[in-house]
Amino acid sequence: MHLSEGVLHSSTLLVGAAVAIVGMAIGLKQLKSDRLSLTALFASAFFVASTIHIPVGIGSVHLILNGVAGIFLGWTVFPAFLIALALQALLFSFGGFSVLGVNLCIMALPALVMHYLSRALLRELTRKRLISAGILAGVLGVGGSALIASLVLAMDGGKQYADLIGLLIVSHLPVFVVDSLISVGVLLTLAKMMPETLHRE
C-alpha cells in the first residue's frame, strides 16, 4: 500500500506530514515502558509483512497487519510504524522519505480506528469475539488503507490515477483474506498465552 515518491504534489505531502507529526506526538506521549516489547513486536511484524511486496503501478501489494497492531497499540502505532517505514525506505528504497508522512497516515489511521472499535468487541475474550475482531482487523486495516490511499490519489491527481486506483483496490482483495486469517490467529494465540495484553484501561 506504500505510495512511491514523485507521485504526490508537495501540498499533499505537507498535509500528510502534519497529520503524521500530530499522531507521533500523541503516540509517544502514550507509549509506556511496560508496552515497549509489545510495540517492538508489532513494529517488527509490520516491517517484515510489508517488506515482502509486489509493485502495482504507483503503489504495492503486501500484507499490512495494521488492524491487529492497532488493537494492541492504539496511538503508539504511529511511532511503531514510522520506524518500520523509515527502515524500509533507508534499507530497501521502499516508499521513500518524502512520502513518509502520507504512507504513515495510510497505515496508521485505520489501525487507530480498529483500536477504538475493538474496545467494545473485546470486553469479553470469547472465541467468537476474538475471531470477529480478527476478521474486522484484516478487513478494516487493509480496506481502510486502500480507501485512504485511493482518496489521496484521487484528490491529488484526479482522473489521472483512476485506473491505477481501481488496480490497487482489486489487487488487494486476496490480502483481505490472508490478513484476516493471520489477525485471527494472533488474537487467539495471545488471548490464550498473554491475555493481559488485551486488557483495556
Domain map (residue ranges) of the chain = 10-198
Tell me which of 99 and 200 has the higher pLDDT.
99
The answer to whether residue 193 scores a pLDDT higher than 80 is: yes
User: C-alpha distances in angstroms, 121 versus 64, 75, 188, 200?
Assistant: 21, 18, 14, 11
The answer to whether residue 167 scores a pLDDT higher than 70 is: yes
Task: Count CB atoms within 10 A of the CB of residue 108.
Answer: 31
E-assigned strand segments in the chain: 54-56, 59-61
Fold of the CATH domain 10-198: Arp2/3 complex 21 kDa subunit ARPC3 (1.10.1760)
Q: Express each pLDDT in 47-78 by its tens digit.
A: 988 877 676 665 667 788 999 999 999 999 99
d(CA 156, CA 158) in angstroms, rounded, equals 6
Tell me which of 165 and 16 has the higher pLDDT.
16
Q: Express each pLDDT in 81-130 by its tens digit.
A: 999 999 988 888 777 899 999 999 999 999 999 999 999 899 888 999 99
Length of the chain, in residues: 201
